[in-house]
Structure formats: structure tokens, C-alpha cells
A and B are shown apart, each in its own frame.
Chain A
Amino acid sequence: MTTRRGARPYRLTRRQMIGSGVAGGAALAMLGGSGRLPGLTLNHAAAQEQTALRFWVPPGSPLYCEVQQEIAADYAALDQSIRFEEVQCLPGETDDYFQAILAAIAAGNPPDGMVIWDTPVSLGARDALVAIDDLMAASEHSQVEKWPEGLLASCQYEGQTYGLPVTAGLYGLWYNPNLLEEKGIPSGRESLPKTWQELRDLSKEFTVWDGDRLVSAGFVPNNGDFGAFELPIWSALNGGQLYDAANQTYTIDSETNIEMMDFMVSWIDEEYKGDIALVRSSAGWGGYVTEDGLPPAFQAGNQAMLQQGSWLMGDFAAEVEPVFDNWNIGDHPVGPSGESSVSGFWPNWMAIPAGAANPEAVFGYMDYMSAVGVEKWFNAIPDIPTNADAPAVLPQGVVESRGEEFAQEIMAFWDTQAEMSTAMWTSPVQGFANDRLGQAVERILTKAAAPAEELAAAQADCQAELESLLGDQG
């Protein structure tokens, strides 16, 4: 049921945030004493007439937790009819948080609202969330048309909406303009490869081996650590999909997906000695220090391009000192069977758990967060607001390092990516599927299985899990 944001691949990319989240969450829990944060309780005299809200936030960094509390305090100051009894950033990792939520729902004592890093679809499908369509229709900022279609699809199941994708990390093709220029390629994003084949051809220009160590690379297929999170984007780039939400059917072993994996395997064979392990043991190819402590090749000027999320804007110089700062981002190239570029996303969803005491009151806060509170959120952590009413925001770090004009331009780029995002996170068995697909891709890349055979096995497993859930509901 859960996704793996807090698990291995996520720690690779945003582990600093998660790592500090444990300490931060614990500190906040201590601050809160019995789980309540006195600093957030407003208007004590009028407390009896006010609706007391309890709001939970996943285990992020101390800064993330702090800003959530500030936004809640801002809202409570605006709306005198509510007060926040607690805004609790729970300790632990994402899976611990998820367990705490389910336990609270099962025990009949859930918070009124929460931020989740797991798709609302899988929770909604199990009656763990409140459907919010009526609340959205009557709201100021949260009507259906105020959200990018692809993003809102991650909250919709069987005609009902179970959450709001208030902010999102969006994926793009990050590149080092200096390296491209060294090869005589103009640094503008319009010069980037438009197809996978062009990407592969260009990538070869940068590949340098020293024995079995990959010293530099152009682009390593999915950063050498082909997790399942980005797979829907690559599938869509090749004209396919992994899960057909409308028909509640997995399509993992479709021809376009087999073609996709065949392409990746042949690329690794041709450019990377057919051994993904050698690639992985040479450097970090995802823009972050790896779990084994290998520094990121991109920031070291040894990798021309990589696929990564918008959160790298904030993290670009967080772990290592980059040798360049004029990074840029472009569209994903299109696969052999694809027609146009797409993007993908990883939202922070807000949702109301089943059994919440004050759904209307907390939805007011969610509505406020979507269009107003996100500005403060973004200023602290550059997760991109997705609601149409959200103010235009600029990442301060980028403004300081690259100037306002570039920051505006890059935010406009992310807006475009949000609009062209493919549907993701739409399966009610998303957690299971992510795990299974991750296994499948790993088996394919390490040559433990052939693409067609392994994708067929994954298809059978995911479909069986899905049908088991649907059968239970039926």
C-alpha cells in the first residue's frame, strides 16, 4: 500500500532531509510534550467556541516541520473559528508515519488532516480517506479545474477525489551546459537531444572509462539506479503506460514497455560494458551522494545530463561543492515509439483521514494551503505549488546564485512540466507495484532476467494483487 519515498531510492536522493527528519521529529515531539504544540494554540479565551484541529505531517527535515507549523499558525490567525491543537511532524521514516496514520484511523482517533507522501488512491481505495469532491466544489481555490489534470489524477479513484496535490517535485532532464559546449553543442535547452537515440548518441561523447571505473558519462539510464518511481515517465515517453487507471488494468508487459527495457539494456551493453554494477560502483549518477558514500558525478563536472526532480534546485550544493553553478533543465527526450515529451511528479498530498472529526474545518486549511500557504512552504523548501491560484514564487537560492531572470525562467519551465505530466501514482496497489517493478527492473538491468519475461512476471503479480484488492471490494 505504501510507496517507497522513505525507502532506499528516496534516501539516495533526499536522504539529508529524511535523515534529519528523525531528529527533527523527535525534537518536535519533545517540544510538544504530550504531542501538542502550545505555541500554535491561539486565542485561548475563545478556545471553547473554536474548532480544534489536529494535523499530521510526514517526517521531514526540522525546517520542513517548522514551516508547516508556521503556516498553520498563519491560518489560525486568519480564521478565528479554528485553532490547531497540534501540528505534529511525526518522527521516524515515511513507512513509520504511514503505519501511525493507519493505526490512528483503525483506532478511531485519526488527525483531522495530514500531509502524505503516499498516493491518496491506495488509501482511498481502502476507505481510509474522506472523499472531498463536494468540499472542493464549494471551495475558493480547490475546484477540479484549478489543478493540473495529471497531478489531480493521483488523487482520484473510481470517480472520487481523496486528496489535493498541493505541491510537487517535478522531473526534468538536468544538464551541465559547460560540458555540452565543450562538445560544440549550444547550451540552450532547445539543443538537448529530442529522442532517446539522440540522447544515447550524445551520451557516448562523454563516456570515459579507467579500467572498470566509469570516470565520466553523458547520461546513465535512469541514473544507474532504475527505481520504479520514474518508470511511468519513461514508459509514457515511449508512448506507453504501466497502469491503465480507467480500466483498472496493468500494462507492464506491453510492447512499448518491453521495447523501452530492451533499449536500456542495449544501451548499457553498448556504452557501459554491459555491467550496471560497474557504473554504480564508480560514482553517484543521480545528483546525490550514494549510500556507499560515492560523490555525485554531476556536480563534479563528470556527468553531462541526468534525470532528477525539481528538489535538486535546493540540494544542488547541499552535499558537495559543485564545480559549476550554471546548471539547466530541459524536456525529457522521446522514446522510439513515443510522440511527445512528458514529465512526471512526486507530490506532497494533503488528505483527510476516514473518521476525522472536522473535515470541513480542515478542508478550509487545505484550501488555504493550496493557494496561500504554499508560498511560505516553497520559500523554505522548493516543492513547487501546483494550484492555479498559488502565487508566482521564485526559489530564493536560485535567485541568489543565478539571478531573478533565470529563476523566473526555470519556474516557468516547471509550470510547463506540471501541465505535461503523465498520470502517475494512480494505482490502488501502488506500493506493491513500486516494489515489484523495482525488482523487475533490477533483474533486467543486472541480466538476471530478460525484459519480456520479467515484465510479464511483474505484470502477472501486479495484476493479481490489484484483482485481489478489487475482489475484496466487490
Chain B
Amino acid sequence: MATMAMRRTAVSPLRRQESRAGLIFILPWLVSLLVFTTYPVLATFYLSFTEYNILQPPSWIGLENYQTIFTEDPAFWKAVRNSAVYALVSVPLKLVIAFGLAMLLNMGVRGIGVYRTVFYLPTLVPPIAATIIFLLLFSPAGGPINSILGWLGIRGPDWFNDPNWAMPALIVLGVWPLGVETLAFLAGLKEIPQDLLDAAAVDGAQGWQRLRHVILPLISPVILFNLVIGVIYSFQVFTQALVIGGFNGEPLESTLMFLVLIYRNAFRYFSMGYAAALSVILFLAVLALTLLIFRSSRAWVHYEGGQR
């Protein structure tokens, strides 16, 4: 009791007033978080155990949705495979290209501001517009990509209509807007103390050695950030895949991504419970991957002052 009384008296009226004001200020955000994020997340978990078509109340069916997903739905495994391939290829590709771009943008050449702007611009293009641009670029009917290949004597594929080429084209489309990753790398590169690089140079370290032993370790936290964000986003590819492949992931389900599968079940077949179960699986999978990356980061991410 004495402790509690001391605590009460320890908080000044001004502090309490400030706390109240602070609470009031964040209240709209807090309400929004509870109503539009927390509730839907909890509802999704609940609905995943139900049969629910919007029109009738949800009815509890236990684990049936999960059982169907894992044992009777070939589209699920197709979407898992497509999403995994997309993530495995696009994330490393994006990291490497964004890092390379950041290295270039970190050079003190004239007009560097223009270059930075140009490389960031694709990030600002809405996904639908970007997808349509790529459909035109990759069009077999006079699209620039196939025209260039034609000049080189190569018959370009029918990119988005060929099941063998649709995914690579989708990955190229996904890698295109890498402004955010590049900026993050650039910020990391700017933080590297010049004296460290100079000291390495004095010790005889050449370009590759400086990159390998100085730059990469120092920007490893940025790599971790970009990797985690990249993996999360790569499993959330939706607009581009839907525009290109429709609900069925055409051609031949080669562009059927996990989010399209969820959307198809939820808003085309109105199997909300089933879609909720798919969402839960996606959530758990991404969570597991993220935890795995964080766990592995202990071995390869270096923080200032030696903290990991």
C-alpha cells in the first residue's frame, strides 16, 4: 500500500495531465488500430474455423478449412510454389540490384540528384499503371522487348501468355520499383565512416576486399531490413498478378500467387471462411520466415558497438 501511495504521489498533476492529453491525441489512432486492424485480425482467426459466405451467419466447422487446404486443394500448392519461386528469385535479385544502384548513386558524379530521382520514380508509379506498361513492353505484337530481341535475331516469347515465361516477366515487373530499397542502402552507405574505408585502403584493401570486409558488414543491418521487408512484400504480390493472370493465374496457373488465391476464394467464390484460413496460413508462414531471418541475422548482421 505504501508503495502504491508513493507511486501515486510520484506522478505530478502536470504529468497526469500530459498523459491524458497524450492519450487523447493518440485515441483516434488507437481506435483505428483496434477497429480496423486488431478486430479484423482476430475475426480472421475466428472465421478460418467457419463456413461463411457473407449472406448467412458463419457456422463453426473446426479444422475443415485447413484440412481441405492441405489435402484437397491443388491450387493451394500451386500458389505456394509460385509465391515461393517469386520470393526466392525476386528478393535476392532486388537486393543485389538495389545495392548496386546505391553504390553508383553514392559516387560523387555530376547530376547525382537527377539520377536518384530517376531511380526512385518507378516506386511512385501505381501498380496497375506499372503492370499495363509492362504488358505493353512485353507484348508479342510489336512490344519493345520483343522488337529488340528480334533485331538480335531472337524470337521473343509470348511473355504473359506462355506459362514458362509469365513468372519471369512478373518477377522483372516486381523488381522494377526498387527506389525504397535503394534509398535505404544509400542511407546506409552514407553512414559508413570515411576513415574506416581510408584505413582499409592504407592496409592495402582493394575494391572487392573493402566491399567484402568493410562495407557489407557495416550495412548488414540495412540488408536485414530490406530482406525482411522484401520477403514480406514478395508474399503479398497481388495487383500485378491479378491484372496479368486474372483469378486463375493464367496462363496455366503460372501467375497464381497466394494473395490472388485468397482474393479468389473470398470475393469470387465468397468462401470467406476458407479465405480466412488461407490468410492465417500466409500470416504464420511469413511470421515463421521473418523469425528465421532474424534468428539467422545473429550470424551475419553487425551492429555498431558490436551489438547484435
Q: B131 within 8 Å of A by Cβ?
A: no
Contact among A127, A280, A292, A446 with B55 in the assembled complex (CB-CB below 8 Å): A127
Chain A 102-146 per-residue mask, 1 if CB under 8 angstroms from chain B, else 0: 110110000000000000000000111000000000000000000
Q: A19 within 8 Å of B by Cβ?
A: no
Whether the Cβ atoms of A442 and B140 lie closer than 8 Å is no
| Complex Cα–Cα for A253 and B55 (A) | 32
| Complex Cα–Cα for A281 and B138 (A) | 13
Residues of B within 8 A of A105 (CB): 54-55
Q: A354 within 8 Å of B by Cβ?
A: yes
Chain B 116-144 per-residue mask, 1 if CB under 8 angstroms from chain A, else 0: 00000000000000000001000111100
Q: A61 within 8 Å of B by Cβ?
A: no
Q: B267 within 8 Å of A by Cβ?
A: yes
Residues of B within 8 A of A446 (CB): 163, 251-252
Contact among B59, B253, B269 with A439 in the assembled complex (CB-CB below 8 Å): B253
Q: How many A-B contacts are there with CB distance less than 8 Å? A: 72
Known A-B contacts A128-B55, A281-B158, A446-B163; the reply to A439 vs B248 at CB < 8 A is: yes
Closest CB-CB distance, A352 to chain B, in whole Å? 15
Closest CB-CB distance, A20 to chain B, in whole Å? 17
Segment with Cβ contacts to B, from A1-9, A29-37, A305-313, A369-377: A1-9
Residues of A within 8 A of B198 (CB): none
Known A-B contacts A277-B158, A281-B161; the reply to A106 vs B252 at CB < 8 A is: no
| Complex Cα–Cα for A99 and B267 (A) | 7
Residues of B within 8 A of A4 (CB): 247
Chain B 237-251 per-residue mask, 1 if CB under 8 angstroms from chain A, else 0: 000000000111011
Whether the Cβ atoms of A7 and B246 lie closer than 8 Å is yes
Residues of A within 8 A of B72 (CB): 464
Residues of A within 8 A of B247 (CB): 4, 7, 435
Residues of A within 8 A of B250 (CB): 8, 442
Q: A194 within 8 Å of B by Cβ?
A: no
| Complex Cα–Cα for A443 and B254 (A) | 12
Whether the Cβ atoms of B163 and A432 lie closer than 8 Å is no
Q: A412 within 8 Å of B by Cβ?
A: no
Whether the Cβ atoms of B54 and A102 lie closer than 8 Å is yes
Nearest CB in chain B to that of A446: its residue: B252
Closest CB-CB distance, B276 to chain A, in whole Å? 16
Known A-B contacts A8-B246, A435-B247; the reply to A280 vs B252 at CB < 8 A is: no
Known A-B contacts A277-B161, A292-B140; the reply to A95 vs B56 at CB < 8 A is: no
Chain A 332-366 per-residue mask, 1 if CB under 8 angstroms from chain B, else 0: 00000000000000000000001000000000000
Q: A294 within 8 Å of B by Cβ?
A: yes
Q: Which chain B residues (259-283) contact chain A, with CB distance < 8 Å?
A: 264, 267-270
Chain A 374-398 per-residue mask, 1 if CB under 8 angstroms from chain B, else 0: 0000000000000000000000000
| Complex Cα–Cα for A4 and B264 (A) | 12
| Complex Cα–Cα for A176 and B301 (A) | 70
Residues of A within 8 A of B53 (CB): 1, 126
| Complex Cα–Cα for A464 and B75 (A) | 14
Residues of B within 8 A of A438 (CB): 248
Residues of A within 8 A of B59 (CB): 472
Residues of A within 8 A of B18 (CB): none
Residues of B within 8 A of A474 (CB): none
| Complex Cα–Cα for A266 and B139 (A) | 29
| Complex Cα–Cα for A105 and B250 (A) | 31
| Complex Cα–Cα for A128 and B54 (A) | 10
Closest CB-CB distance, B43 to chain A, in whole Å? 14
Contact among A7, A99, A293, A432 with B142 in the assembled complex (CB-CB below 8 Å): A293
Q: Which chain B residues (50-65) contact chain A, with CB distance < 8 Å?
A: 51, 53-56, 59
Whether the Cβ atoms of B248 and A448 lie closer than 8 Å is no
Closest CB-CB distance, B166 to chain A, in whole Å? 12
Contact among B135, B162, B252 with A442 in the assembled complex (CB-CB below 8 Å): B252
Whether the Cβ atoms of A2 and B268 lie closer than 8 Å is yes
Known A-B contacts A1-B268, A95-B267, A277-B162; the reply to A442 vs B251 at CB < 8 A is: yes
Q: A193 within 8 Å of B by Cβ?
A: no
| Complex Cα–Cα for A43 and B208 (A) | 83
Whether the Cβ atoms of A103 and B54 lie closer than 8 Å is yes
Nearest CB in chain A to that of B73: its residue: A461
Closest CB-CB distance, A242 to chain B, in whole Å? 18
Interface residues of B (CB under 8 A from A): 51, 53-56, 59, 72, 135, 139-142, 158, 161-163, 246-248, 250-253, 264, 267-270
**3 pairs of A and B residues whose beta carbons are closest in the complex:** A106-B54, A292-B141, A8-B246
Known: A1-B53, A292-B141. 15 other contacts (CB 8 A): A103-B54, A106-B55, A126-B53, A280-B158, A281-B161, A292-B140, A292-B161, A293-B141, A293-B142, A438-B248, A439-B252, A443-B252, A446-B163, A446-B252, A472-B51
